[in-house]
């Protein structure tokens, strides 16, 4: 059984310290709401969370699972490439769990253009010591393109502004999911 070697578990562990003091948090891909719930459970009672998804079903599922925290969650039925427009505050923590909604049509998946636009918008809005995590799924065509473009983009980010790490399982298939962790350092 995978515990810390599971990439999602690992990124969640990585952002926990930043979540403790976070005021503004973005779940850029709400899906079934598991990640939004995690973010709500690990942030202060006055923190605000934006949960974006382009599918009504996803937001319905997210609303249901996070009902206890609903008064501080903004459920946004819009593409994450509208983050710059719809989130006015600096962002302390952002999470992208790319791909498609489990159990729904696979054609409604995150796409490289909007993913890259959204990631750029988040990085521009990250507060100092803010963290953005991206879980990529290179096992399907759109996911492979996203992973490649993310890698190219993150590799040349100026290190005086951002530190970027990548977590990959070296003894699993090359197509296994992996994660990027980006910290704004000034
Ligand atoms: C792998 S699922 C996310 C899993 C989710 N975080 C959870 O905890 O269940 C990916 C989600 O991204 C959503 N998505 C696809 N394109 C999007 C976009 N441009 N903006 C926001 N969400 C998008 C899909 O509808 C899907 O629900």
Question: Domain range holding 128?
Answer: 7-184
CA 186–ligand 1 middle distance (angstroms): 29
**2 is a domain residue:** no
CA 160–ligand 1 middle distance (angstroms): 31
pLDDT of residue 2: 62
**Residue environment code for 2-29, b if the CB has 16+ CB neighbours within 10 A, otherwise e:** eeeeebbebbbebbeebbeebebbbbbb
Residue whose CB lies within 8 A of the most ligand 1 atoms, among 28, 30, 78, 79, for a mutation test: 30
**176 is a domain residue:** yes
**87 is a domain residue:** yes
**115 is a domain residue:** yes
Lowest mean pLDDT among 35-44, 50-59, 94-103: 94-103
The percentage of residues in the chain with a pLDDT greater than 90, rounded to a whole number, is: 89
**1 is a domain residue:** no
**163 is a domain residue:** yes
Q: How many domains does the chain have?
A: 1
pLDDT in tens, 139-165: 999 999 999 999 999 999 999 999 999
Q: Under 8 Å CB-to-CB from 167, ≥6 apart: which residues?
A: 7, 10, 11, 178, 179, 180, 181
186 versus 64: the higher-pLDDT residue is: 64
| Residue 43's CATH number | 3.40.50.150
pLDDT of residue 17: 96
pLDDT of residue 108: 87
Gyration radius (Cα) of the chain, Å = 15
pLDDT in tens, 112-147: 999 999 999 999 999 999 999 999 999 999 999 999
CA 97–ligand 1 middle distance (angstroms): 7
């Amino acid at each position: 059984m995978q515990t810390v070697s599971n990439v999602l578990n690992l990124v969640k562990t990585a952002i926990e310290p930043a979540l403790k003091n976070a005021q503004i948090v973005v779940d850029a891909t709400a899906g079934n709401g598991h990640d939004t719930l995690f973010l709500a459970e690990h942030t202060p009672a006055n923190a605000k969370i934006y949960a974006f998804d382009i599918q009504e079903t996803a937001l319905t599922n997210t609303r249901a699972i996070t009902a206890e925290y609903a008064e501080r969650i903004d459920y946004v039925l819009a593409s994450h490439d509208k983050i710059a427009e719809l989130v006015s505050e600096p962002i302390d923590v952002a999470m992208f769990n790319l791909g498609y909604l489990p159990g729904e049509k696979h054609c409604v998946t995150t796409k490289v253009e909007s993913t890259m636009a959204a990631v750029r918008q988040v990085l521009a809005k990250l507060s100092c010591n803010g963290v953005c995590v991206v879980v990529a799924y290179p096992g399907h065509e759109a996911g492979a393109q996203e992973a490649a473009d993310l890698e190219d983009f993150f590799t040349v980010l100026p290190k005086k502004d951002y530190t970027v790490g990548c977590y990959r399982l070296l003894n699993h298939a090359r197509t296994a999911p992996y994660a990027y962790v980006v910290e704004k350092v000034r």
